[in-house]
């Protein structure tokens, strides 16, 4: 039997609390899925720098899961996940990019980093929204934890951006055969 998703607005007493909880479950689902994804992407990487970046993203997601579980405790909810169609689409696109690039190539590494950046951007938007919701709801402990998670995501994205620029420069220098 397929479970029908519950609308975030089902909590008629406080729709914002419903949105907060639904978004928290969504980001929890994203972070729960990413360690395995990052491990796969790490295996596909050519350069040591990209392998390290994917390992760091994997470790970060594991740490973020622990922080999110603390937030679930703060709001008296069980940690649960919502399937995220956006990330599912981004991961499908990442797999396509890997399949369409040559193994052991700078192009493949650039595609991996590009895919990682898109996921980071999405997570930044989720965490920024959650910070705003938590502030409005007056959940100060969640605000503190979520602000830290948001800063982690912004930092990770900046590292990936630097790596991306380096890879793009290498691609630009390669001459077609």
pTM: 0.87
pLDDT digits (tens, 9 = 90+) for 31-80: 999 998 898 889 989 899 999 999 999 999 999 999 999 999 999 998 88
State the average pLDDT for the chain: 88
Q: HSE on the CB side for 106, CA within 13 Å?
A: 13
Task: Output the pLDDT for position 95.
Answer: 86
Reply yes or no on whether the pLDDT at 176 is more than 80: no
Q: Distance (Å, rounded) from C-alpha 62 to C-alpha 43?
A: 18
pLDDT digits (tens, 9 = 90+) for 121-140: 999 999 999 999 999 999 99
**Contact in structure between 46 and 106 (CB atoms under 8 Å):** yes
Task: Output the pLDDT for position 170.
Answer: 79
């Amino acid at each position: 039997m397929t479970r029908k998703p519950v609308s975030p607005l089902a909590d008629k007493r406080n729709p914002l609390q419903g949105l907060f909880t639904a978004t928290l479950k969504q980001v929890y689902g994203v972070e729960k899925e990413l360690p395995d994804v990052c491990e796969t992407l790490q295996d596909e990487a050519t350069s040591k720098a990209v392998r390290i970046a994917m390992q760091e993203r994997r470790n970060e997601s594991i740490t973020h899961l622990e922080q999110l579980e603390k937030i679930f405790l703060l709001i008296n909810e069980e940690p649960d996940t919502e399937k995220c169609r956006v990330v599912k689409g981004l991961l499908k696109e990442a797999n396509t990019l890997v399949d369409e690039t040559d193994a052991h190539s700078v192009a493949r590494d650039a595609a991996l980093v590009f895919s990682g950046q898109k996921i980071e951007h999405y997570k930044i938007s989720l965490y920024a929204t959650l910070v705003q919701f938590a502030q409005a709801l007056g959940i100060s402990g969640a605000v503190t934890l979520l602000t830290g998670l948001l800063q982690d995501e912004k930092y990770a994205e900046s590292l990936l951006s630097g790596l991306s620029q380096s890879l793009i420069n290498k691609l630009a220098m390669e001459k077609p055969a």
